[in-house]
Chains A and B, each alone.
Chain A
């Protein structure tokens, strides 16, 4: 009986020791969450980490997984992070752009504007105060680029 009792105590102690060493899910969650960048959500169930959210690229997604795997007590990582898809920039077609650029520069008689493959090239001269107005008008027309070669007076 005596040996049995001490065996029980030893068994309980061993159990306590191990569960004491083993980080709890909530602790793991807090630790990993603190290391991840914003936009990533960390969930932990029995040491299994699930990552969700959105990042800019594949490298950031892989990095997030690495961070979680490196955390003590993590058994596995399910990486459900989405990589943001960036829509390409829409550039106006030349005929539309040419017409709109012509309208925009009409009131700046000293400015000449050429449009080729989306690039608006400005030559001539302009008053400093008018330049910002002209640039604002051209920038909303969806050009590929504004090549400003104007002489600012």
Chain B
């Protein structure tokens, strides 16, 4: 219960922001907050609150698992790497061979997002493969 109090501001914000399927559970000294955010801004807002309550995330007593809802109507994504090209791989995993690259800032086609971590994409040159989802920003 103490952890729920510590992160009350966060869970209240999650409820207020309309996080879908919100679950708050405490188990073995760690609070698990799971849910789906309507958009990236809400997810960022929750992470900002987390960072305020536990600066630099050093306590190790919260696992904030909030994904952004995948909108089926979205078919394209922008490559949001720091500056480099994004690897496109044969399968989902960095142990998979690289089959192509997408340029920083390029907008590519989303083929399948059933895997949360690795999305199947197609570049404008027709190369198809898996990219790390964190480097892709769905385009409305």
Which stretch, B7-15, B54-62, B119-127, touches the partner chain A?
Answer: B54-62
Closest to B94 in A: A103
Contacting residue for B57 out of A89, A135, A137, A144, CB 8 A: A135
Q: Is A131 an interface residue (CB 8 A)?
A: yes
Q: Is B139 an interface residue (CB 8 A)?
A: no
Residues of B close to A140: CB separation below 8 A = 65, 67, 116-117
Interface of B is mostly: mixed
Residues of A close to B58: CB separation below 8 A = 148
Chain B residues packing against A (C-beta within 8 Å): 25, 27-28, 30, 32, 43, 47, 51, 56-58, 60-61, 63-67, 93-95, 116-117, 132, 134
Q: Give the number of A-B contacts (CB < 8 Å).
A: 57
> By the criterion CB–CB under 8 Å, are A89 and B32 in contact?
yes
Closest to B55 in A: A152
Most chain-B CB neighbours within 10 Å: which of A104, A136, A141?
Answer: A136
Chain A residues packing against B (C-beta within 8 Å): 86, 88-89, 99-100, 102-104, 106, 128, 131-133, 135-137, 139-148, 150, 152
Closest to A136 in B: B47
> By the criterion CB–CB under 8 Å, are B47 and A102 in contact?
no
> By the criterion CB–CB under 8 Å, are A89 and B94 in contact?
no
Contacting residue for A144 out of B30, B64, B132, CB 8 A: B30
Residues of B close to A132: CB separation below 8 A = 47, 51
Alpha-carbon separation in the docked complex, A100 to B93 (Å): 8
> By the criterion CB–CB under 8 Å, are A102 and B94 in contact?
yes
> By the criterion CB–CB under 8 Å, are A103 and B47 in contact?
no
Residues of A close to B28: CB separation below 8 A = 144
Contacting residue for A131 out of B25, B57, B61, B64, CB 8 A: B57
* A-B CB proximity, top 8 nearest: A89-B32, A103-B94, A147-B60, A89-B27, A152-B56, A139-B64, A135-B57, A148-B57
Residues of B close to A143: CB separation below 8 A = 63
> By the criterion CB–CB under 8 Å, are B63 and A146 in contact?
yes
> By the criterion CB–CB under 8 Å, are A88 and B27 in contact?
yes
Known: A88-B27, A89-B27, A140-B116. A146 touches B67 (CB 8 A): no
**Interchain Cβ contacts under 8 Å between A and B, 27 examples:** A89-B27, A89-B32, A99-B95, A103-B94, A103-B132, A131-B57, A132-B51, A135-B47, A136-B43, A136-B47, A139-B65, A140-B67, A140-B116, A142-B63, A142-B65, A143-B63, A144-B28, A144-B30, A144-B63, A145-B30, A145-B60, A145-B61, A145-B63, A148-B57, A148-B58, A148-B60, A152-B56
Residues of B close to A128: CB separation below 8 A = 56
> By the criterion CB–CB under 8 Å, are A139 and B134 in contact?
no
Distance to closest chain B CB from A12 (angstroms): 56
Residues of B close to A137: CB separation below 8 A = 134
Most chain-B CB neighbours within 10 Å: which of A103, A104, A137, A144?
Answer: A103
